[in-house]
């Protein structure tokens, strides 16, 4: 077990009142949180793993789909009546905020997100999703319906002993600024996406 459960409290949101549960990573002291809604004892539980994205989640960036996915997932969990969102604090696919900004600069010069990460000396995705499996186990959850477009999350969670009963797509936020970003996710990272080509008026 890589984590310790530390604290919890009520957290009102525009979609309803969640319980926020805080965890500390034992090896690094990095903090992660879970947003829990309703009764999670009846499984499988609707679950979203959301990796930290300051630019998308808090600063409304249109370069990615992260902020859109965060809000859509919280809304869907509340509408369902119960569920969990794991806020996985591995910024920029775990290369860190400043390196993500450096990667943005390389993308401004024409590289895609994978090429930019490689240029900076990182893998395309440096995240460790086994931490998310530990968060679920500390919440006494072992069967989930996972909101994701990323098959890698399913593979890692299942290897860690979490049963994925269903994959539920979460495709939101497509816009002219993130069109190439989403194409790269689909073509180079294996994400399951059904992209809609934007017309000339939308791109202008």
pLDDT at residue 201 tops 70: no
DSSP state of 130: H
pLDDT at residue 196 tops 70: no
Pairing mode, strands 16-25 and 163-168? unpaired
Q: How far apart are CA 91 and CA 43, in angstroms?
A: 29
Q: Confirm or deny that 53 is annotated as ligand binding.
A: yes
DSSP 74-129: HHHHHHHT-EEEEEE--HHHHT-HHHHHHHHHHHHTT--HHHHHHHTT--S----T
Give pLDDT, residue 5.
96
pLDDT at residue 184 tops 70: yes
Q: Confirm or deny that 52 is annotated as ligand binding.
A: yes
Give pLDDT, residue 72.
97
Active site residue 102: no
Quickly tell me which residue has 């002291």 as its tokens: 29
The pLDDT tens digits of the residues spanning 73-102 come to 999 999 999 999 999 999 999 999 999 999
State phi, psi for 12 to the nearest 5 degrees: -70, 140
Over residues 176-196, the mean pLDDT reads 87
Residue 1: which pLDDT band, with cuts at 50, 70 and 90? confident
Say if CB 182 and CB 204 are below 8 A apart: no
Q: What's this model's pTM, rounded to 2 decimal places?
A: 0.91
Q: Confirm or deny that 132 is annotated as ligand binding.
A: no
Q: How far apart are CA 51 and CA 70, in angstroms?
A: 9
Q: Which position among 63, 112, 127, 134 bears the catalytic label? A: 127
Q: How far apart are CA 69 and CA 46, in angstroms?
A: 14
Say if CB 184 and CB 64 are below 8 A apart: no
- Homologous superfamily in CATH for domain 13-90+127-189: GTP cyclohydrolase II (3.40.50.10990)
The pLDDT tens digits of the residues spanning 121-170 come to 999 999 999 999 999 999 999 999 999 999 999 999 999 999 999 999 99
E strands, the chain, are 3-13, 16-25, 31-37, 45-51, 83-88, 143-147, 163-168
Q: How far apart are CA 45 and CA 121, in angstroms?
A: 37
Q: Which position among 57, 65, 112, 125 bears the catalytic label? A: 125
Instruction: Determine which helix (DSSP H) or strand (DSSP E) holds 66, and give its type and residue range.
Output: helix 66-80
Give pLDDT, residue 197.
62
- Count of CB atoms situated within 10 Å of the CB of 171: 17
Q: How far apart are CA 63 and CA 59, in angstroms?
A: 11
Task: Name the residue ranges covered by the structural domains of the chain.
Answer: 13-90+127-189
pLDDT at residue 198 tops 70: no
Q: Confirm or deny that 92 is annotated as ligand binding.
A: yes
* Summary mean pLDDT of the chain: 92
Active site residue 63: no
Q: Confirm or deny that 47 is annotated as ligand binding.
A: no
Q: How far apart are CA 159 and CA 172, in angstroms?
A: 28
Q: Confirm or deny that 153 is annotated as ligand binding.
A: yes
């Amino acid at each position: 077990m890589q984590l310790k459960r530390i604290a919890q409290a009520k957290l009102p949101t525009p979609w309803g009142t969640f319980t926020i549960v805080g965890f500390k990573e034992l090896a690094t002291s990095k903090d992660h949180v879970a947003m829990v809604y309703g009764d999670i004892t009846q499984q499988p539980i609707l679950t979203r793993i959301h990796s930290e994205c300051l630019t998308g989640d808090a600063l409304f960036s249109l370069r990615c789909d992260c902020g859109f996915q965060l809000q859509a997932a919280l809304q869907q969990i509340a509408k369902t009546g119960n569920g969990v969102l794991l806020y996985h604090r591995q910024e920029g696919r775990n290369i860190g905020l400043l390196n993500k900004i450096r990667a943005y600069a390389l993308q401004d010069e024409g590289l895609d997100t994978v090429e930019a990460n490689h240029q900076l000396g990182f893998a395309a995705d440096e995240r460790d999703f086994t931490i998310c499996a530990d968060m679920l186990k500390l919440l006494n959850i072992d069967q989930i319906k996972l909101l994701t477009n990323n098959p890698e999350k399913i593979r890692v969670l299942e290897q860690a002993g979490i049963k994925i009963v269903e994959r539920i797509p979460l495709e939101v936020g497509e816009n002219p600024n993130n069109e190439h970003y989403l194409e790269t996710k689909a073509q180079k990272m294996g994400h399951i996406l059904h992209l809609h080509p934007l017309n000339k008026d939308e791109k202008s």
